[in-house]
Amino acid sequence: MKVNGISVGIDLAGVENRDTGYCCLDEDLNAETCVLHTDREIVDKVLSDRPEIIAIDAPLTLPKGRKSLEVRSDVHLRECDRELLRMGIRFFPITLGPMRKLTVRGIDLKKTLEEKNFRVVETYPGAAQDLLKMPRKKQGLERLRKALIDYGVKGNANRELTADELDAITCALTGKKYLEGNYLAIGDPDEGLMILPKPRVS
């Protein structure tokens, strides 16, 4: 694959009838965002953009000792989840209600994209925003949009965006940090790593 510095961020919805945020971010931080729904739409857009990295906001692995989400188990957290707890970062466990559908969809989408020779990593925009000292979307979409612009993001960031698109930009920005080697990889490599940007120094 040609090196192009393009990072795609996907704020994946748990089901296809809900909005999935999508962002294609080039090496100059020009963001092109849109809202997609089906897995087919997502895969087709990725094939069109041909990114070097895809960063998805969804659990992409199961905890060690857990074969599925359908079978009852006392195993709920992965090592990357435990590290988020130690960092004081809030998140929803993958076995909690709607997170189950999101996890299954994320794992399947990762497999599909990797079969097409794309690099796929898991990220979490809420944690990325905390580490980059940005507000989360619940603190106000306009505040988050302006924080991304202040960070250097251009393109679609200059218009009103949905919460899903803003989180997708954050995912794509994390993917760019990954390409630059400026990232944290938390968790157990044998279980699945979560990629986050290194903390912003104020």
CA distance linking residue 48 with residue 144, whole number of Å: 28
**Domain CATH number, residue 191:** 3.30.420
Contact 94/75 with Cβ under 8 angstroms? no
Say how many Å lie between the first and final Cα of the chain, rounded.
36
The mean pLDDT value for 6-22 works out to 97
Report yes or no on 202 lying in a domain: no
| pLDDT band for position 202 (cuts 50, 70, 90) | low
Q: Is the pLDDT of residue 1 over 60?
A: no
Q: Is residue 2 part of a domain?
A: no
Cβ-defined contacts of 112-115 (< 8 Å, 24+)? 112/39, 112/43, 113/43, 113/46, 113/54
In this prediction, what percent of the chain has a pLDDT beyond 90? 75
Residue 23 within a domain: yes
* Model pLDDT for residues 93-145, shown as the tens digit of each residue: 776 677 789 999 999 999 999 999 999 999 999 999 999 999 999 999 999 99
Mean pLDDT of the chain: 91
In a domain, 43, yes or no: yes
Most confident of 34-38, 81-85, 103-107: 34-38
Domain, as residue range, for 64: 7-197
Half-sphere exposure (Cβ direction) of 6: Cα atoms closer than 13 Å: 16
CA pair distance 199, 135, nearest whole angstrom: 14
Number of domain units in the chain: 1
> Could you tell me the pTM of the whole model?
0.92
pLDDT attached to residue 72 = 64
Helix (H) or strand (E) holding 109: helix 99-115
